[in-house]
Amino acid sequence: MTCSLTKTLLGRAFAPAVLALLSLVTGDSLVAQDVPPTQAFAEEPDAIRTGMGVYRLRCADCHGTDARGVRGPDLTQLWAAGRTDEGIFRTITEGIPGTNMRAIDRVRTRDSEVWQVIAYLKSISTPTLTQTHGDPGRGREIFETTCSVCHQVNANGGRLGPDLSRIGIARSVDALRQRIRGDYGKMVDPAYAPTTLTDADGARVQGVARNQDLFSIQVIDAAGRIQGFDKTTLQSLDVSIDSMMPTFTPEMLSDAALEDVVSYLVTLRGHDAAVE
Ligand code: HEC
Ligand code: HEC
């Protein structure tokens, strides 16, 4: 089957697509030097389908079945954001240090499969970035009065909630809107589980638990104070599954203000944004 296929194809002009197909059949990266691999693969419906399979298995958990982003960024706008095939390949194979984006397992994954995932992502990608319609300057002011108590940006702000210095890279625009409105089920990162305890002297402490083990627990309260306790002496300890983050209803934060805040958040891309 391989032979007759090759013969038919060789009967025609020796097009890059043939090389791509050959490399699919043989499994190695026999791709013409001057043709970016994804472009060659993108011609092949089977490559895209295989890429979709790998994507669903390895990436969908964090980036969403539709790649529009859940616990990871929207991957349908990479090219609109100016990323290159090679840069994306490096991100997937090397990961992003210090984040949940880990390098793909190179032992169990061939380079060609990574290129197929990229071809799949390219096939579903959108030509333009999701637009925000707010005013980032006003959003920043709202953020500083309403959100900074719990969130740090570039080392300023509270520590009860996660640092948002890179949130513009790490989450999609829709995920940000939904998180602020509390639109999806309580998505509490276990690192931020709300905790209430009563210490040995009967004092109540509320905050989020950090660095827990069998015998000790640390709690950061809303004022950013960190206190450590010996678990065996506590009168009560209650770790909840709700989020400490308030749900910002339209009464608390108008639609226009939400759009301003989101427009500000998308500008937060850290210092080391690896945009290539
Ligand atoms: C455990 C969750 C998780 C899994 C699984 C995962 N990612 Fe990610 N990914 C992330 C997070 C979080 C980020 C954002 C990291 C940051 O920069 O803060 C990210 C970032 C990326 C980026 C960079 C986006 C940009 O705008 O530069 C690409 C590309 C990417 N992931 C592709 C993939 C692909 C392809 C897979 C599957 C092979 C995958 N990821 C699997 C969580 C994940
Ligand atoms: C009382 C403290 C508190 C306030 C005020 C607060 N947050 Fe949060 N926020 C948290 C905590 C705790 C988490 C982590 C747990 C979770 O995801 O629910 C969080 C999570 C988030 C996340 C998800 C981060 C991620 O990694 O996905 C975003 C985005 C966010 N907050 C934005 C905001 C914005 C914008 C405001 C102001 C309009 C705000 N927060 C106000 C405590 C707060």
Domains and CATH numbers, the chain: 2-123 (1.10.760.10), 136-187+246-265 (1.10.760.10), 190-239 (2.30.30.100)
Quick: pLDDT tens for 60-111: 999 989 998 878 899 999 999 899 999 999 999 999 998 889 999 988 888 9
Pocket of ligand 1 (CB under 6 A): 58-59, 61-63, 71-73, 75, 78, 83, 88, 91-92, 96, 99-101, 104, 117, 166, 169-170
Rounded to the nearest angstrom, the distance between the alpha carbon of 32 and the centre of ligand 1 is 28
Instruction: Kindly report, residue by residue over 202-221, the tens digit of the pLDDT.
Output: 999 999 988 888 899 999 98
Judged by its nearest atom, the ligand closest to the C-alpha of residue 153 is: 2
Q: Which ligand is nearest to the CA of 184?
A: 2
Q: What is the pLDDT of residues 240-251, one digit of tens each?
A: 878 888 899 999
Here the contacts of 226-231 (C-beta below 8 Å, separation 24 or greater) are: 229/197, 229/199, 229/205
Which residues neighbour 117 within 8 Å (Cβ) at sequence distance 6 or greater? 51, 54, 55, 58, 59, 92
pLDDT value of residue 175: 87
For 195, phi and psi rounded to 5 degrees? -135, 135
* Cut 0.85: pTM above it: no
Average pLDDT value over all residues in the chain: 82
Residue 169 near ligand 2, beta carbon < 6 Å: no
Terminal C-alpha separation, the chain: 40
- Tens-digit pLDDT profile for residues 146-195: 999 999 999 999 988 999 999 998 888 988 998 999 876 555 677 788 89
